[in-house]
Amino acid sequence: MQLYISPSLRHISVFPGKGFKEFIKVKVGSRRVSYRVLFYSLLFFTFILRFAFVFTAVDTIDRDQSKCSSIGCLGKRLRPSIFGRRLDSNVPEVIYRILEEPIGKDELKGRSDVPQTLEDFMAEIKKTKPDAKTFAVKLREMVTLLEQRTRTAKIQEYLYRHVASSSIPKQLHCLALNLANEHSTNAAARLQLPSAELIPALVDSSYFHFVLASDNVLATSVVATSLVRNSLHPQKVVLHIITDRKTYSPMQAWFSLHPLSPAIIEVKALHHFDWFSKGKVPVLEAMEKDQRVRSQFRGGSSAIVANNTEKPQVIAAKLQALSPKYNSMMNHIRIHLPELFPSLNKVVFLDDDIVIQTDLSPLWDVDMNGKVNGAVETCRGEDKFVMSKQFRSYLNFSHPLISNSFNPNECAWAYGMNIFDLEAWRKTNISLAYHYWLEQNLKSDLSLWQLGTLPPGLIAFHGHVHIIGPFWHMLGLGYQENTSLADAESAGVIHFNGRAKPWLEIAFPQLRPLWAKYVNFTDKFIKSCHIRASS
């Protein structure tokens, strides 16, 4: 073969030759071979050799039927490549086909030949040098086994967190018992809250009125302390604490013995409100029915965890639905604020798992534009895990009652730190709508939304929400471990919503100090119950 390259390097001609020597003979238009010609000649042959190398490597991997020597494979690959051979290999197709085949849930049970780790897998592959099909089978088995183990571990984690968050820690139980005993034996622990001369401030709208409903003494004390300590006008702060009958004595004892002067603290139990004794309270009736229906249609934690078809996130949501707080009146009390405080025009409602880090008096200057509920929206923000909640995140849009009434893409908002214009509220049917939808959910076998007070709240306050800036309410500190300390410190109010409450041992250690700084660990009641700064 003869290869002719023109002097301009624009034309290359190939002529038949008589042997190997003729194959490598190069003729050029000029008798003198320049360095430029030599360079392009070497570049051409390098290009040919690269193809030879690639085809040889592919043949080594894709050896499903026959074996060949390196030279034989080179010839086999090189010949069809010149005559238009397709350059793709069937290795990916083999792997994809095997990986897409489903594996039965019991197929890997008792198997000892499945690699347990990536290190085991690589050692076996290097030792046996399997073909593509065997390689894919082993890879599929190993990944499936690890997925099954990960799912089991994740579900166990959710179950343990459910148990930890649903139970009353012995330290909190100890604190409540000690304070109840103090209430019965120490007159100083039974002081009237507030004192008689401060009672007029309870109905004076010129003060900054905050409402907190809780049966957790320690959590309530942190909210109250952080509120007063960060207030620029503590003498104008009135905190209305609402609790249940069993927690009233410990709560009163704590704030009698730990006053937050000059702020004004009121402690009342639900049975102290005349409104609750005047007749039937719709939300109490709904709660009783809800409990009966839930016991009929919801299994216990064992039944939920035993489900092998649902994703771990779904199982976690169902476990959370079993939380006792969903049966607590403390969780529903906010819907009755206009009736509980008939003399007030505006209040800020606080959950007991928040920490206040700034002065909240500017909230009274927020122009609500005729809206009832001032809240932080939760559908946009830098934290896509926490701030990505729309109506579809809470409501069941596969149910016609929901899909015909609401937009799934509408932005959700947060409970935890809310401004309520009670004067505007009394002109609406928000409370009636709340109770109506609770009844509809009961009639639908609890299928309209996830359990909790936010879903019916989203419905009842629909069209009555004024969005405030995210500075006023940072969410997710009870389930978003990736929240940085610097970001949390920059927020006005931080919310430990989620299972990892800061008073539990499952709290995130890097975030717990933001809460613990408002606990006096040298206090005799705190020390006697072994409540420590770090869990």
Q: Are residues 402 and 493 in the same domain?
A: yes
Number of structural domains the chain divides into: 2
pLDDT for the residue numbered 74? 39
Task: Please answer whether residues 9 and 31 qualify as being in contact, where contact means their C-beta atoms are separated by less than 8 angstroms.
Answer: no
pLDDT for the residue numbered 114? 83
Is the predicted pLDDT of residue 26 greater than 60, yes or no? no
pLDDT digits (tens, 9 = 90+) for 333-344: 899 899 899 999
The confidence band for 49, taking pLDDT boundaries of 50, 70 and 90, is low
Residue 80 Cα distances to 3, 51, 52, 88, 148, angstroms: 21, 11, 11, 12, 45
Q: Are residues 206 and 352 in the same domain?
A: yes
- What tokens does 78 get? 């090189």
Q: Residue 19 domain-assigned?
A: no
The label of the residue with tokens 């076998």 reads 445
* Last residue in a domain, options 148, 164, 180: 164
Q: Are residues 146 and 185 in the same domain?
A: no
pLDDT for the residue numbered 39? 62
Of all residues in the chain, what percent carry a pLDDT higher than 90? Answer: 46
Q: Are residues 172 and 220 in the same domain?
A: yes
Percent helix, strand and coil across the chain, each rounded to 5?
50, 10, 40
Task: Please answer whether residues 431 and 335 qualify as being in contact, where contact means their C-beta atoms are separated by less than 8 angstroms.
Answer: yes
pLDDT for the residue numbered 418? 97
Task: Please answer whether residues 319 and 163 qualify as being in contact, where contact means their C-beta atoms are separated by less than 8 angstroms.
Answer: no
Q: Are residues 141 and 186 in the same domain?
A: no
Contacts of 246 (CB under 8 A, 6+ apart): 215
pLDDT digits (tens, 9 = 90+) for 465-508: 999 999 999 999 988 888 888 999 999 999 998 888 999 988 89
In 68-131, which residue ranges form alpha helices assigned H by DSSP? 70-82, 91-100, 118-128
The domain of 444 spans 167-529
pLDDT for the residue numbered 86? 47
Q: Are residues 189 and 128 in the same domain?
A: no
Q: Are residues 150 and 207 in the same domain?
A: no
Residue 53 Cα distances to 24, 58, 82, 93, 476, angstroms: 20, 9, 14, 22, 55
Q: Residue 241 domain-assigned?
A: yes
Contacts of 260 (CB under 8 A, 6+ apart): 224, 225, 228, 234, 239
The confidence band for 64, taking pLDDT boundaries of 50, 70 and 90, is very low
Identity of the residue numbered 8: S
Q: Residue 426 domain-assigned?
A: yes
Burial environment of residue 523 by CB neighbours within 10 A (0 to 12, 13 to 18, 19 or more): middle
Is the predicted pLDDT of residue 433 greater than 60, yes or no? yes
The label of the residue with tokens 């004004």 reads 264
C-alpha 316, offset from chain centre: 11
Q: Residue 9 domain-assigned?
A: no
Q: Are residues 143 and 205 in the same domain?
A: no
- CA neighbor of 146 nearest in space, from 115, 171, 122, 120: 115
CATH code for the domain in which residue 374 is found: 3.90.550.10
Q: Are residues 211 and 275 in the same domain?
A: yes
- The H or E element that residue 229 is part of is helix 217-229
Q: Residue 122 domain-assigned?
A: yes
Mean pLDDT check: name the lowest of 162-171, 308-317, 359-368, 446-455. 308-317
Q: Are residues 317 and 442 in the same domain?
A: yes
Mean pLDDT check: name the lowest of 35-49, 169-183, 223-237. 35-49
The confidence band for 288, taking pLDDT boundaries of 50, 70 and 90, is low
Q: Are residues 218 and 251 in the same domain?
A: yes
Q: Are residues 252 and 339 in the same domain?
A: yes
- The H or E element that residue 268 is part of is strand 264-269
Tell me 103's DSSP state: -
pLDDT for the residue numbered 374? 98
How many C-alpha atoms does 463 have within 13 Å on its Cβ side? 8
Mean pLDDT check: name the lowest of 22-31, 177-186, 295-304, 509-518. 22-31
Supply the pTM of this predicted model: 0.73
In whole angstroms, give the CA distance from residue 483 to residue 494.
11
* Last residue in a domain, options 164, 194, 226: 164
**Region 217-232: what's the mean pLDDT?**
98
Q: What is the mean pLDDT of the chain?
A: 81
Identity of the residue numbered 96: Y
Q: Residue 387 domain-assigned?
A: yes
**Region 284-298: what's the mean pLDDT?**
60
- The H or E element that residue 211 is part of is strand 208-213
- CA neighbor of 134 nearest in space, from 111, 113, 104: 113
Q: Residue 516 domain-assigned?
A: yes
Q: Residue 12 domain-assigned?
A: no
